[in-house]
Chains A and B, each alone.
Chain A
């Protein structure tokens, strides 16, 4: 049996795609004829190719909850004259992997394939159909709606899902970031064939697409790939601007009963956007508070000193607009209030006093010293290309990373936290709460 137990559950990792200075990859960039932005790193070490096409078509654009996610899911279930089995089977025949990702802002389709002409050409052919000519069959939509609704009902029984949904609602109120990415039962149930087609036509737009290409192709081939994947995407108007995130929320504490043995606790508020001038300062500060694996303050106080939880963390999830700052942990019900009080004290103290010089030094040593690990694979570099392109970050982002981290001071962290994080005005959600 291969059940593996790790000493630590890495939660915060996914939220910070950030990297910095040793030999950084040389990024080539251009705009394709379709208007799409292209970022390319040429690398012939391994005979394979990674491609990601991203569009601003995440759940923040939902007119019915779950519409963005459903549209994204339907892309490879029939496209350009191929049915869903021909698409999956066609990719498998050449060992290619077609995947996708969706969050509040962005929907993306990714491809990994062998780079030899035969495999590459077939894989790109299928991917170009999936992106540009999805069929959106009515019958398949009905089937997928039933599957998603079943999964949503299942989620509604899981303490971690219940907590997360309540948390986003409490933090973002009426802003669309409050919407669960995969939707809710009522919203998904109401999605029509026409909704999906309209959503696609409006949001899968050539001029707003970002194509990231990494691996064993030449620049000329990369140009052709970008054209092939975006040349026939819809052309549409800019979507309406989003309402601003209300940064000042009222303090709320929501206690939701659940039969689980543990309480799942989330605490937070709107945090920062991807382009916040305080981005690096908050990132480094959060490493010290709850982002730095086994050596963070939260980990030390809650787990190492008192054994109150297996996992405890904090992170900023930066989006186009300010995404959440979130602290999370799970602990046995009868010690939930003790753990919660401890987390609050730890946060209060950090915001009031900032980190020590020694803590900052250790944080910089880790983040800067570990920079090579951030860009040690094609997959990781592809992720950076997409984020840099999608959020309009400078192309020198990776080159500047260690410099930016190194310049952060204790005073700046204290100041930035004081401006962004207000411990007395945060949302707290406790699922499986002890009786009070």
Chain B
């Protein structure tokens, strides 16, 4: 599932006054952008390298290649054999990992601060010298398939999400899962990941984020030493997809072994493109907060606590992505209630907002949570680096962080009402229902059932 939009709002709100003074940027001659966030509370450092290449840059038949390469990035270079990268970071007391999303791929290490040069040496080496062998690939692709089985094939909610996105989007590559379709994984070759590596892994398509107990000038010097010698390369332009307009409601059912139904309603929604002029994304973040920002927010209060129609409910929206966004509502019906019941209840909540808007108190509450989260964020150096890397990789830039925070603060109750009435319409909507199947193959006792969704 997506990171909840609400969190995203928090992601988006970065460092106001004080903190922004401690962010330093420099671009090396080869195009690598280096950003340093100083934080001297503890003697630790995090290095993150973000590549502007994610699953949305893949083509039909090769889904999963971005993520497969992420796995292969640990399989050695000419100088550092397979497994050695992890051993060296471990021996330095470090923790490391990597992640791939639709929008980007990133690699990180967390270490005691004196170990930064080692991390830079290793990370800059695999930016240019990856040694991709058929032997390692043939093992690792099996690991990826196990990952897919575990995360998606055997997880009914993840399966619903995957299948829903493939219907929600018709052309945009967000319709494909990050991990890739199983059949594509079965056909991927080491040449495919090699091509991907050569195409996207260049300093001028990456952002280096360093955060922690460091001096920015010293970091810039180290970055120049380790990453500076890597040659700039021509990187193809990122294709911008425009999803064709939806022309009517879409409905779908996914059957999987489970006990409870789940209903997900997804509406097409804009992402932040122009941080200063946009208003809808900020209003949508506030709307999601008003609907499910805390346990007394509308959805939980009405559907779970008062009406007892749902046993769980939430709203979600992520304003910060390279491509178009989704506004989601989801609910698990209570025992004896159906997916149709929770859909009707969610629709009542939306029409209440379209008709009567939201109160000043509700909005103030969401804003208070956002502002407090800005302070709490300072407790995690890693998270601060994440926010910077993400904003750079989706093209908004880390300098938009305080700007977006201001814009969120400016959202009015009127805007929340307007955005709901403009976007939360049936022609913009996909409804997906999980139809739970018995594990044994025996028919399930009927209680009021979800399988007869229109």
Task: Enumerate chain A interface residues (CB-CB to B < 8 A).
Answer: 1-8, 10, 22-23, 45-48, 84-89, 91-97, 112-114, 119, 143, 146-147, 149-151, 153-154, 156-157, 159, 258-262, 292-295, 300, 303-311, 330-332, 362, 365-373, 375-379
Contacts and interface: CB of A to CB of B under 8 A. Distances in A.
Nearest to A48: B375
B21 interface: no
B2 A7 contact: no
B146 A5 contact: no
A98 B318 CA distance: 24
A222 to B, nearest CB: 18
Nearest to B260: A154
A304 B42 CA distance: 34
B70 interface: yes
B149 A262 contact: yes
A251 B153 CA distance: 32
Contacts of B260: 150, 153-154
B311 A147 contact: yes
B165 interface: yes
Interface string B293-322: 111110001001100100110000010010
A2 B294 contact: no
Contacts of B335: 146, 149-150
Contact of B2 (A1, A22, A295): A1
Contacts of A258: 257, 439
A378 B380 CA distance: 9
A143 B257 CA distance: 26
Contact of A307 (B70, B87, B142, B308): B142
B372 A45 contact: no
Contact of B257 (A4, A146, A259, A295): A259
Nearest to A292: B90
Contacts of B441: 259
B90 A7 contact: no
B44 A310 contact: no
A216 B153 CA distance: 46
B44 A157 contact: no
Given A93-B365, A150-B334, A292-B90, A306 B101 contact: no
6 tightest Cβ-Cβ pairs between the two chains A and B: A369-B93, A95-B372, A370-B93, A307-B142, A376-B42, A88-B295
A377 B373 contact: no
28 contacts: A1-B101, A2-B103, A2-B321, A4-B3, A7-B71, A7-B98, A45-B378, A85-B301, A86-B296, A92-B294, A146-B308, A146-B334, A147-B311, A157-B258, A258-B257, A262-B154, A294-B86, A294-B96, A304-B82, A305-B139, A308-B146, A309-B143, A330-B150, A366-B92, A368-B93, A372-B112, A378-B379, A379-B379
Contact of A310 (B86, B146, B305): B146
Nearest to A47: B375
A47 B140 CA distance: 46
B257 A307 contact: no
Contacts of A259: 257, 439, 441
Contacts of A260: 149, 153-154, 257
Contacts of B368: 92-95
B295 A84 contact: yes
A323 B436 CA distance: 35
A433 to B, nearest CB: 14
Nearest to B2: A2
B42 A157 contact: no
A200 B95 CA distance: 41
A1 B147 CA distance: 19
A294 B74 contact: yes
Interface stretch (B172-180, B231-239, B350-358): B172-180
Contacts of A311: 150
Nearest to B436: A157
A114 B375 contact: yes
